[in-house]
Amino acid sequence: MDERKVTVTRRGAERIARGHLWIYRTDVEKAPAGAEAGDVVALVDGRGRFLGKAFWSARSKIALRLVTRDEVPVDEAFLAARLSDAIALRRRVFGEERFVRLVHGEADLFPGLVADRYGDVGVVQTLVPATDRRKGLIAELLAGALDLRTVVERNDVRVRELEGLEQVKGVVRGPAPGPLEYREGEVRMRLDVLAGQKTGAFLDQRENHLRAGEYATGRCLDCFSYAGGFALHLARRAERVTAVEMQPVAAGLLRENAALNRAENLEVVEENAFDYLRDRSEEEPAFDLVVLDPPAFAKNKESLPAARRGYKEVNLRALQVLVPGGILVTASCSYHLSPEMLEELVLDAANDAGRRVQVLERRGAGRDHPELAGVPETRYLKALFLRVL
């Protein structure tokens, strides 16, 4: 209920003033005894001055997520307006694109909500109690705004456990979605929003997929290929593409997508990418372009040292298999590995390989995944486009 008040420390108030949306439990000075997970509460400082309204979490270290700085009801009309604003941004950037991220959590001032669109199917992730309690309403609002046939939830993510929420997936509204086809430029891809990774596709890399395809020539290698987002774009210009994917289900989907796009110059190799690169590094350099798009190696701060070793190893091997003048596209979706860290370890790998690298582009997630100034957590994906000398 909106009338409940939570008093935050001076440090918490200053954090909000600097633009962040999160208040940690250690900065909660006083909370009402009756507050339940998912309630909307008013934030005040030690002097009782209003700071905004936030979603309350009972278990997470992040106790509060700011929703608005205004003294307005956070009701159905408010949520509808917030969704409408997010959708309007996508239309402004992408026109009538029907495959797009609609809501990117904190970056769209809607903490704890991710929403993607695949044609007439919407996919939501309600990651905190406040959005989870309202997922039926959110599904109705999205379906009404976009004339969606179906809305499903992909709440099978571990972060929900930090909030005391179960991992679940299924249909929230409408009939079962069935198999879908999605487009990136001229590339067609099949997906399953209930069985695939993330919400069905890697929308955050879409613009990087297209960009990498513009550099393709000769022989190309795509590691950690999954369903072929990079490989299929490379195949449109390259003479030959090798896509390495160790998961049998993903490799099967990759082969289907290659056939769908008549990419006869695309070879799928079911193998661990580290092993494949190590073996190729013992041969003469043969690739004109290599893509590295691994899963997040650093899930938390504690895993960062091991993750850095993994990122360096895979980049070292990629540099060793590239011909002089070749292009390395290397990405990391680990928030805890900063852009500066990624560049540093790539430079270390280049020095160990006896190579020099030119930075051609520094890129991130697509424009449907905006970053909110003041909330560095909304910047997680890094991609470097490098020329190897």
Final residue in a domain of this structure, among 161, 178, 195: 178
The CATH number linked to 135 is: 3.30.750.80
| 217 and 99 share one domain | no
Residues 171 and 196 reside in one and the same domain: no
User: By residue range, what is the domain housing residue 20?
Assistant: 5-68
pLDDT tens-digit series, residues 307-351? 899 999 999 999 999 999 999 999 999 989 999 999 999 999 999
Give the predicted TM-score (pTM) of the model. Answer: 0.93
Instruction: Tell whether 162 and 201 lie within a shared domain.
Output: no
Catalytic residues: 333
| Interval 349-367: pLDDT, tens | 999 999 999 999 999 999 9
Verify that 317 and 270 share a domain, yes or no: yes
pLDDT of residue 3: 64
Residues 6+ apart with CB under 8 A from 167: 155, 156, 157, 158, 160, 161
| Same domain assignment for residues 316 and 229 | yes
Burial class (CB in 10 A: 0-12, 13-18, 19+), 116: buried
Say if residue 116 is in the same domain as residue 214: no
Tokens read off for 388 = 């190897």
Indicate the DSSP class of residue 376: G
Q: 373 vs 137, 249, 338, 350, 360, CA distance in Å?
A: 28, 38, 16, 32, 25
Q: Tell me whether residue 283 is exposed, middle or buried, using C-beta atoms within 10 angstroms of its C-beta: 0 to 12, 13 to 18, 19 or more.
A: exposed
Tens digits of residue pLDDT in 208-220: 999 999 999 999 9
For residues 261 and 331, state if they share a domain: yes
Using the CB atoms, write b or e for 156-195: b if 16+ within 10 Å.
eeeebeebebeeebebbbbeebeebebebeebebbbbbbe
Q: What is the CATH number of the domain that holds 191?
A: 3.40.50.150
Place of tokens 């919400």: 199
pLDDT (average), residues 240-244: 98
Q: What is the mean pLDDT of the chain?
A: 95
Model confidence over 75-95: pLDDT tens digits? 999 999 999 999 999 999 999
Q: What is the CATH number of the domain that holds 61?
A: 2.30.130.10
Structural domain count, the chain: 3
- At 109-125, the pLDDT tens digits run 999 999 999 999 999 99
3-state secondary structure labels for all residues of 323-359: EEEEEEEEEECCCCCCHHHHHHHHHHHHHHHCCCEEE
Residue 250 to residue 196: CA distance in whole angstroms: 8
Q: Are 97 and 366 in contact (CB under 8 A)?
A: no
- pLDDT at position 74 over 90: yes
- What pLDDT is attached to residue 1? 42
